Amino acid sequence: MKVSINPITQEVCQIPSVLNDDQNIDNFLNHNRGKKVVVVQGLGFVGAVMSLVCANSLTEEYAVIGVDLAEKESYWKIKSINDGVFPLVADDPKIEEFFNRTKKLGNFLATYDPKAYKHADVVIVDINLDVKKTLKENGALGSFNVELNGFKSAIQTIAFHCKEDVLILVETTVPPGTCEKIVKPIIENELSQRGLSLKYYRLGHSYERVMPGPNYIDSIREYPRVYSGTTLESANAVEMFLKTIIDTSLCDLTRLEHTNATEIAKVLENSYRAMNIAFAVEWSRYAEEASVDLYSIVNAIRVRKTHANLMYPGIGVGGYCLTKDPLLASWSRRNFFQSSSDLDMSINSVSVNDQMPKFAFDRLIQEFGDLGNKRITFLGVSYRGDVGDTRFSPVELLFVLVKNTGAKILLHDPFVTFWEEQNCSIESDLSKVLNSDPDLVIISTGHNVYREEHTIKKLLEIDACKIYDTIGLLDQGQISKLQTKHYISVLGRGDLK
């Protein structure tokens, strides 16, 4: 018997042995008779919330079916949605509001049965497309490769079941060239084999800029979008659909001429950010060597509008996107467009960013000495503030390195109850971890709760210890207050004494 464990509740779900969900799908469609059907492929951080946005469309009453895999990593999401519990923890009240509305209307079903695609007027592809990386001992990037097989088979599944006039909208971040060179041929080949016309299907690309966190829903619904189609008719169909879910009175839709262009736009956007961060890393080391505070330098420069997005230093780059998207771009350049060159600066940015947690660790040892037997509390394991997402979190490498010293570690995160990658539970009671008499507190994630006044007050109540702020969360006033009792060190701020 196969099971899937819900990482939020630890509930153990049995995966059905016969993967036929016809009855539930039929009941759902009967209940939603007359509505257009949107099927979202992939119920992860993007697809689950995109499903809510579609089910709460601005202009249409859609019946939304979310499809994920009946696998141990993902089946729990399907079960959780159908049990009425949204499978994500995030600090956006609109998520609950939107989900409650779908429960009231009965217009959102989750399933593992790919037969759902045969009912779809629109299929939105929100699955993962991974890059496999090997790292060198110092954390630098070794080699990497793009794993296209899972993506290809997902498209194949859609093409095997879909109607001949379906609109397929790819939102997954893909190596540029994918819609034209991979998706289109698979769909056309399959439709032809099924004896269907190739005239009526529509295929487009519109990448996600969703930002998990307090504005999760609005970062889809009220955020500018870039889109394209493989034909003029496809681009028009994508535009019409997007206008039903995106509030175009608040944000623009920008059409680009080709799917290659929108695909490049996505990876360029993220490569730009990854490079900006890598740039800050190099300068933060320099600033520390020169014993100056890079935060105040960056603030002074940021007043120039042309330099307003210069980044601050930090513990590293995490999450699913910035750690891989520059590599997708470089891979596509060589493999889809036969270039003999890589995107060297973009690749290097990933490598520099991947090494940051190791640097944060080395600096820690340099400053605090041997950590063996010390009691160390980490504040935050998520890769980003106010989000329960630990994928490729830079905290992980720092945690592993600190753990290997023999230190006794307590982990806190308000958004993560179980850290899947490290297979351990996470404490959610902040008082408990701070009252554990730590020798060192490492501020590792920018959750807002850590900068709130009550947290600073709590920190002032505990015995004198060392505080290592790896992300520049504390402001100058808070540092001054805490320095009256504790020793404070901030990555990138040079010598604070």
Residues in contact with ligand NAD by CB under 6 A are 41-47, 67-69, 74, 77, 126-129, 150, 154, 157, 172-173, 208, 210, 212, 320-321
The residue among 222 and 233 lying less far from ligand NAD, judged by its C-beta, is: 222
User: CB of 144: closest distance to ligand NAD in angstroms?
Assistant: 15
Instruction: Label residues 140-151 b or e (16+ Cβ within 10 Å = b).
Output: ebeebebebeeb
CB proximity list for 452: less than 8 A, separation 6 or greater: none
The residue among 56 and 173 lying less far from ligand NAD, judged by its C-beta, is: 173
Distance, in Å, from the CA atom of 28 to the CA atom of 98, rounded to the nearest integer, reads 18
What's the gap between Cα 176 and its chain centre? Answer: 19
User: CB of 138: closest distance to ligand NAD in angstroms?
Assistant: 26
**What is the amino acid identity at position 355?**
Q
Q: Is there a contact between 204 and 227 (Cβ–Cβ < 8 Å)?
A: yes
The residue among 173 and 215 lying less far from ligand NAD, judged by its C-beta, is: 173
User: CB of 28: closest distance to ligand NAD in angstroms?
Assistant: 17
The residue among 67 and 287 lying less far from ligand NAD, judged by its C-beta, is: 67
The residue among 157 and 478 lying less far from ligand NAD, judged by its C-beta, is: 157
User: CB of 208: closest distance to ligand NAD in angstroms?
Assistant: 4
User: CB of 402: closest distance to ligand NAD in angstroms?
Assistant: 27
* Two tokens, residue 50: 């995109």
The residue among 173 and 455 lying less far from ligand NAD, judged by its C-beta, is: 173
User: Which residue from 13, 65, 445 is spatially nearest to 2, judged by alpha carbons?
Assistant: 13
User: CB of 497: closest distance to ligand NAD in angstroms?
Assistant: 39
- The number of residues making up the chain comes to 497
The residue among 43 and 122 lying less far from ligand NAD, judged by its C-beta, is: 43
Q: Which residue is nearest to ligand NAD (CB)?
A: 44
User: CB of 128: closest distance to ligand NAD in angstroms?
Assistant: 4
User: CB of 448: closest distance to ligand NAD in angstroms?
Assistant: 18
The residue among 275 and 364 lying less far from ligand NAD, judged by its C-beta, is: 275
Q: Is there a contact between 168 and 132 (Cβ–Cβ < 8 Å)?
A: no
